[in-house]
Amino acid sequence: MIVTASTLLLAFALMLVIEGLLPFLAPRVWRETFRRVTEFTDGQLRFIGLSSLLTGLILMMVVK
């Protein structure tokens, strides 16, 4: 299956919509959450990043 540029743009647009929901709906909660994340250690951030990557890959495999 070939991924077209329009498919990548749609995926990027969906990511922006999802990421924009929390700051739009609850800016105070988003700000506090962001403040707490900045206090995480490098190891904690790497674990969150790895977990997010693996979850995304698994979801793509399940949907595909």
The residues, ordered by sequence, that sit 6+ positions from 3 with a Cβ below 8 Å of its Cβ are none
Q: Are 52 and 45 in contact (CB under 8 A)?
A: no
* Predicted local distance difference test score (pLDDT) of residue 3: 76
Domain extent for 25:
5-63
* Predicted local distance difference test score (pLDDT) of residue 2: 78
* Predicted local distance difference test score (pLDDT) of residue 18: 94
Using the predicted structure, report yes or no on whether residue 32 has a pLDDT greater than 90.
yes
Name the pLDDT band for 63 (thresholds 50, 70, 90).
confident
* Predicted local distance difference test score (pLDDT) of residue 60: 87
Domains of the chain: total: 1
Ranges 25-29, 40-44, 60-64: which has the least confidence: 60-64
